[in-house]
Structure 1
Amino acid sequence: MADGLLIQDFEVFKGAMLEDNLTLQIDIVKRLQMLAKALGERATREELLPFIEQNIELHDEILFNLSEQLEHFMPLVGGYQHAGVLFDILAKLCATDELLVRERAVETLKIFAAELSDDLLEELLFPVVRRLFNEEWFTSKCSALMLFSTCYPRLGDQKKEELRNRFRTLIQDDSSLVRRAAAFACVDFFHCLEIDYVREEFIPILCDIAQDPLDTVRSITIDVALSLTDKLSEVEMNESVFKIIEQASDDPSWKSRYRLAINIAEIQRKIYYSKYRDRLISVFQKLSQDIEAAVRTVAASSVFNFSQSLRDSYIKQPQFDTTFEIVFEKSVMPVIRRLFTDDADDVRLMLSSNILSLGTILTECCFKKNMIPVLLEALEKEQSMVVQANYLQGLSNISRDVDLKESLDTIKAAIRSVLVKSQTNWRSRRSVLMTFVDLAKFCNSDYFSANFKLYYATLLGDSVCAVRRCACLILPLLAKQYGIKWVAENLIPYYAMFTRDARYLYRYVPLFGISELLNPTLSKENVSYLGGFEKLIEGNGRPSNRLAVVALAKIDKYCHEIDKQLEQDVYKDMLFLRTEVEYSDNDSVPIYFEKSLEEIREKYKDIHTYSIEEIDFDQSRWTYIQGILYLIHQNFLEIVKTLNGDVTENIQIRAIFTLGQIYDFITCLKKELSESWVQQALGQLSEEQLKRIDSEILKKMSIDHEDMDIIDTSLMDHVALPTSILKELPIIDEDVTNQSKITKNQIEVILEKKCPETSLDNMSECDELMENVDKDILN
């Protein structure tokens, strides 16, 4: 080391490593690469690494970080020809007591092995493995076993034989930890072995593992048996693999039976031969009746996967009996019915999370005959709110072809039950919102309006922000199902109501709703807004062709009218401030949905918000673009203007951001309207037709605009109710208009009992009641 500064840095490093300061040592080890680069290759391999090797007795956290750093050291020592000291240090790390350090050191060795030639692997890595498996202490042997499958395929015949012999010795080691590590290693090692050696030398090993006195070793037998299914024939499986499986189903230790239950569907998938079907079904039935609840829970969670694998076995073996649904009704349905009434809540919960997915593999007739009665009984009689919520979530797996109209009242009662019971479980209320999207497949807009609309509005005003945010997320999905016109008439009034809410967090709700309608989170798509119109217009001779042209003309007129609105000073000032204020376009939606957001996106990925269908031209509906423009003109601009004058700065900023989204939407739409194909399409309309369209739009806007400032705050009566009040309300099936009056009167009576001085006319006192009596706001 020629440079004095480097000498000083190296001395600082050595001093820090010898001190008893854990924080300093971890920090300096994380900067080890920088020191090595400064020292150079020679000094690194001759001074730095030898010092580390001599002082390896460090804290486990330091050693773990050291294992990570050494992964990048190969070029810093001058390449593999100078890597001996690196492998020596890693061998010592593989022998430490801490499992995490050993696993990280093994991972680094595997990364090096992937870059080594076969000759260098035999020269550098194999000696490390040999050194480890010849040690007396169990930690070294366990690390060596993790490297067997990495080395074996690339060694010569003599060293391969040495590894095989050593492996058979380790599987019978006195240490149970070594035997367990060897059992785990079998899974990968068997994949590397030649088939002859598997048959002659290693199938007896499987029997040794299955008869091990330690249950944690025996439980791994199932994984090992699965690894052999790809190498053995149908006949060979009977005396080895299948014998092990049947033994595990009767094992006195629940751990072995639990492991079997986890893998039962995969076993059925790999052992698909017809001669084993009935035996595997018997094993599955036995697991579903296991005395240990944990085993039954896993069996319940495997019902769908096992049934799917069972069905696939018929497809793979077409020469055999193909009556899968007969077998399902005879053998699997009894399992479902038994688990359905299990005493353990966890068992029923796991069953509810997957059995409605059977709708994707059963015919409509079979599903309706067997699963719909189970669903309805669960919704009526199940006492666990979480289980009920799971069944409601599972409605998404039911085909549209299955008629649930007769079951809607039962589903409605179950939803109400979940809402009542979910005082401390907001995730269940969030799941109910997703159920509304699924229910829209089975009921018409009139039924939804009469029975589910107020529940939706209730959750829109939920006390938990994640629930309110989810209500906004599904708004575009409901618009695609029932039409944007239905949303404008039935749901937007509730959103507008929240602009007057006394709680500032609730005043975000209308702004979130506007953002979702413009840029849906759950159906993101990089397509043009008018692409659907272009396809329809190209289809000459279709009735929708002319209607699409008329709709385009209306959209063009709406854009011009909105442009005029945006020229008002209040909106121009807001758009100017948009460039001056900082606002992140991140509503923390992934946080609210935790791990489920991507699953929900995948679930609704086929819903294209701005797509056009012929039904959209029906007189009772609007095209999505036309409806959004109408709402912008009639509602949204007024909402953002009102909230821009809010007393809370964050609300003002969000209103400015939302107006910016509206402006961007209109700008992009105007750009598409200027394209040649749009102008050619509009050229098909006569001057008289265009004037009539303009007159119709202007008349509609002027009539509706007169009532823009009137927000029906009485809607709050339906969404600002504590759960304790909800429990006392009967289920009302009358017409919606009558229902509002009846509900309000009943609520007032109940409020008088609970708090005589509080009435619905005094909203501030009602708010206080909500906060003190119950945090969950439900209808």
Structure 2
Amino acid sequence: MAGVVGTGTGPGAASGDGDDSLYPIAVLIDELRNEDVQLRLNSIKKLSTIALALGVERTRTELLPFLTDTIYDEDEVLLALAEQLGNFTGLVGGPDFAHCLLPPLESLATVEETVVRDKAVESLRQISQEHTPVALEAHFVPLVKRLASGDWFTSRTSACGLFSVCYPRASSAVKAEIRQYFRSLCSDDTPMVRRAAASKLGEFAKVLELESVKSEIVPLFTNLASDEQDSVRLLAVEACVSIAQILAQDDLDSLVMPTLRQAAEDKSWRVRYMVADKFSELQKAVGPKITLNDLIPAFQKLLKDCEAEVRAAAAHKVKELCENLPTDGRETIIMNQILPYIKCPEVRLNIISNLDCVNEVIGIRQLSQSLLPAIVELAEDAKWRVRLAIIEYMPLLAGQLGVEFFDEKLNSLCMAWLVDHVYAIREAATNNLMKLVQKFGIEWAQNTIVPKVLVMADDPNYLHRMTTLFCINALSEACGQEITTKQMLPIVLKMAGDQVANVRFNVAKSLQKIGPILDTDSLQGEVKPVLQKLGQDEDMDVKYFAQEAISVLALA
């Protein structure tokens, strides 16, 4: 490369006094030596243009060696280079010359920055498919071996992602070598390497012969699932899905399930979390018999786990677990082995959030009997955020349970929330009423909700009297002009004489809100005089909101 640099970087190269054919390389060299990172990054991003200008032979003999020998310390530049090289096969002469791209990518696969290594591995995986079987064994497999036996852990972690792409097309002798290298990485002294191997264990298992999976992969899986590092053990759980999909039922029971049962009770919550997170995939992989005998007992424990994150992860899998159970006996399993274990708020809330799906599985009658105690308990939970969550699911419950069940069992809860000591709960309860009216209709509102709301106007607690106004604001549009004018408006007007200024100015705000729903006679004959009186109130806030309402409603 010294000759290229020497003849191509001077001013003559640009003006035509030197060897003009070397100009693209010279420009690239100058730009890559520039202190401006963005300029260097831009030059890397136009590598394909430079390669086209050079032609395939000079790209192979000059550009690629230069890129291989030149190490930049900016991760952005290296990342862009790793990405570019993955699409370079056509620019070096096609698949017969794909191996020319391996040296620069091998260097990039050993750098310290993880994202650069990952991108280099991604490009190497892409290029491996373009090698003929002969070229693969001659060029690609040796690269994998070098990375796998490298002194630095960075190269060994990169190697883990390359075994599965070269194994299927290798000869029997080379396959045995590849498996041996992978085994070594699974027991590497460095935890980062074992993590990388564990993360690729399932992928590697998919391309191996069945006997090799049973004799080699399963023992590796067992060892990694017992690793001293929980970050390794949790990745072994992920590999379990792929391994379980390969093995027969009898082999699963003896080779995999003891390790999986151990993972479900692992001392690290992160491992138990991974079991919960992958539960649906595991369920499909092991089949219904093992699910019933092993997975459901494990799932029961996960639902009661001491860590909230584990319980939440399990809760998110309840719906899929139920859907994937065999139809024969499904309802019995859910009623006897799943629902009784739903004790924690986050688990029960997740069930309720997927109520429509669970309802399809076991039927609303069974569901309502099982969930009603849980709903009531959640509605009165000491943590206000739990109460808030159940309020938000109330319209969903209403739609699933029907108006009769709702009125009998849940209506009183909805009204109780209106006088909760936490404002956020009272606000959410108000919005909930509006959604229920939209679901059950105006007649239901007139008979069931509106009378109970209006009674609160005489409550000794001024906060509850204000809640009446907030409810009227929310319900007026849903209920329409007649109910608003005949039932709600008189109560609002009466409250204009409240002794508490906060109530009076909220009366002004309510009149402004419901004004557009009212007819002209009511506005002029009833609303206007009250707002004018409030506009002369001794309290400045009352006066301000009254005058604003008069202006907005054009009643001046």
1:742 maps onto 2:491 in alignment: yes
Question: What does 1:111-260 correspond to in 2, within 5 Å?
Answer: 111-260=126-275
The whole-number CA distance in structure 2 between the counterparts of 1:272 and 1:67 is: 42
1:299 shift after superposition: 2.0
The whole-number CA distance in structure 2 between the counterparts of 1:43 and 1:430 is: 74
The whole-number CA distance in structure 2 between the counterparts of 1:105 and 1:414 is: 61
The whole-number CA distance in structure 1 between the counterparts of 2:506 and 2:356 is: 49
1:397 shift after superposition: 7.8
Change beyond 3 A, Cα 1:99–1:349? farther
1:178 shift after superposition: 0.9
Change beyond 3 A, Cα 1:731–1:724? closer
Aligned residue pairs total 483
The one-letter amino acid of 1:383's match is W
> Do the aligned residues in 2 keep the contact of 1:420 with 1:727 (CA within 8 Å)?
no
The residue aligned with 2:337 is 331
SS in 2 for 1:228: helix
The one-letter amino acid of 2:34's match is E
Change beyond 3 A, Cα 1:275–1:141? closer
1:424 shift after superposition: 13
Question: What does 1:418-567 correspond to in 2, within 5 Å?
Answer: 421-422=423-424, 436=435, 443-448=440-445
1:748 shift after superposition: 6.1
The one-letter amino acid of 2:332's match is I
Higher mean alpha-carbon deviation, 42-51 vs 372-381, is at 372-381
SS in 2 for 1:155: coil
1:392 to 394, 398, 409: 394
Change beyond 3 A, Cα 1:371–1:350? closer
Change beyond 3 A, Cα 1:757–1:416? closer
1:263 maps onto 2:12 in alignment: no
Change beyond 3 A, Cα 1:55–1:323? same
> Do the aligned residues in 2 keep the contact of 1:29 with 1:65 (CA within 8 Å)?
yes
1:729 shift after superposition: 5.0
Higher mean alpha-carbon deviation, 114-123 vs 219-228, is at 114-123
> Do the aligned residues in 2 keep the contact of 1:179 with 1:217 (CA within 8 Å)?
yes
> Do the aligned residues in 2 keep the contact of 1:153 with 1:192 (CA within 8 Å)?
yes
The whole-number CA distance in structure 2 between the counterparts of 1:160 and 1:766 is: 85
Change beyond 3 A, Cα 1:41–1:275? closer
Question: What does 1:5-404 correspond to in 2, within 5 Å?
Answer: 7-274=22-289, 276-309=291-324, 312=325, 314-315=326-327, 322-336=328-342, 338-340=343-345, 350=350, 352-354=352-354, 357-379=357-379, 381=381, 383-384=384-385, 386-392=388-394, 394-395=396-397, 398=400, 404=406
The whole-number CA distance in structure 2 between the counterparts of 1:125 and 1:766 is: 81
SS in 1 for 2:167: helix
Change beyond 3 A, Cα 1:730–1:85? closer
Higher mean alpha-carbon deviation, 226-235 vs 149-158, is at 226-235
1:213 shift after superposition: 1.2
1:741 shift after superposition: 1.9
TM-score, scaled relative to structure 1: 0.55
The one-letter amino acid of 1:406's match is E
> Do the aligned residues in 2 keep the contact of 1:354 with 1:394 (CA within 8 Å)?
no
The whole-number CA distance in structure 2 between the counterparts of 1:259 and 1:339 is: 19
Change beyond 3 A, Cα 1:356–1:389? farther
> Do the aligned residues in 2 keep the contact of 1:379 with 1:410 (CA within 8 Å)?
no
1:55 shift after superposition: 0.9
SS in 2 for 1:240: helix
Change beyond 3 A, Cα 1:755–1:93? same
1:411 shift after superposition: 7.0
The whole-number CA distance in structure 2 between the counterparts of 1:418 and 1:35 is: 70
Identity of aligned residues (%): 28
SS in 2 for 1:359: helix
The whole-number CA distance in structure 2 between the counterparts of 1:228 and 1:293 is: 29
| Structure 1 runs not aligned, ≥5 long | 316-321, 341-345, 454-722, 773-779
Change beyond 3 A, Cα 1:76–1:446? same
SS in 1 for 2:161: helix
Change beyond 3 A, Cα 1:415–1:35? farther
Change beyond 3 A, Cα 1:128–1:389? farther
The one-letter amino acid of 1:56's match is I
The residue aligned with 2:517 is none
> Do the aligned residues in 2 keep the contact of 1:751 with 1:759 (CA within 8 Å)?
no
The one-letter amino acid of 2:393's match is Y
The one-letter amino acid of 1:330's match is N
1:96 shift after superposition: 0.9
The residue aligned with 1:551 is none
1:212 shift after superposition: 1.2
1:90 shift after superposition: 0.7
1:148-206 per-residue CA deviation (whole Å, 9 max, x = no partner) reads 11111121111111111111111111111111111111111111111111112222112
> Do the aligned residues in 1 keep the contact of 2:221 with 2:236 (CA within 8 Å)?
yes
SS in 2 for 1:86: helix
Change beyond 3 A, Cα 1:289–1:47? same
Question: What does 1:499-648 correspond to in 2, within 5 Å?
Answer: none
> Do the aligned residues in 1 keep the contact of 2:496 with 2:507 (CA within 8 Å)?
no
> Do the aligned residues in 2 keep the contact of 1:172 with 1:179 (CA within 8 Å)?
yes
The one-letter amino acid of 1:446's match is E
> Do the aligned residues in 2 keep the contact of 1:149 with 1:192 (CA within 8 Å)?
yes
1:756 shift after superposition: 7.4
1:354 shift after superposition: 3.6
SS in 1 for 2:362: coil
> Do the aligned residues in 1 keep the contact of 2:465 with 2:503 (CA within 8 Å)?
no
The whole-number CA distance in structure 2 between the counterparts of 1:75 and 1:364 is: 61
Higher relative contact order (CA 8 A, sep 6+): 1
The one-letter amino acid of 1:328's match is I
The whole-number CA distance in structure 1 between the counterparts of 2:545 and 2:134 is: 79
1:146 shift after superposition: 0.6
Change beyond 3 A, Cα 1:20–1:193? same
The whole-number CA distance in structure 2 between the counterparts of 1:18 and 1:424 is: 65
Change beyond 3 A, Cα 1:429–1:59? farther
Change beyond 3 A, Cα 1:359–1:106? same
> Do the aligned residues in 2 keep the contact of 1:725 with 1:750 (CA within 8 Å)?
no
Change beyond 3 A, Cα 1:17–1:389? farther
1:505-535 per-residue CA deviation (whole Å, 9 max, x = no partner) reads xxxxxxxxxxxxxxxxxxxxxxxxxxxxxxx
> Do the aligned residues in 2 keep the contact of 1:122 with 1:155 (CA within 8 Å)?
yes
The whole-number CA distance in structure 1 between the counterparts of 2:226 and 2:182 is: 17
The whole-number CA distance in structure 2 between the counterparts of 1:431 and 1:231 is: 52
1:330 shift after superposition: 1.9
1:116 shift after superposition: 3.8
The one-letter amino acid of 1:746's match is M
The whole-number CA distance in structure 2 between the counterparts of 1:262 and 1:439 is: 38
SS in 1 for 2:162: helix
Change beyond 3 A, Cα 1:355–1:173? farther
> Do the aligned residues in 2 keep the contact of 1:222 with 1:244 (CA within 8 Å)?
no
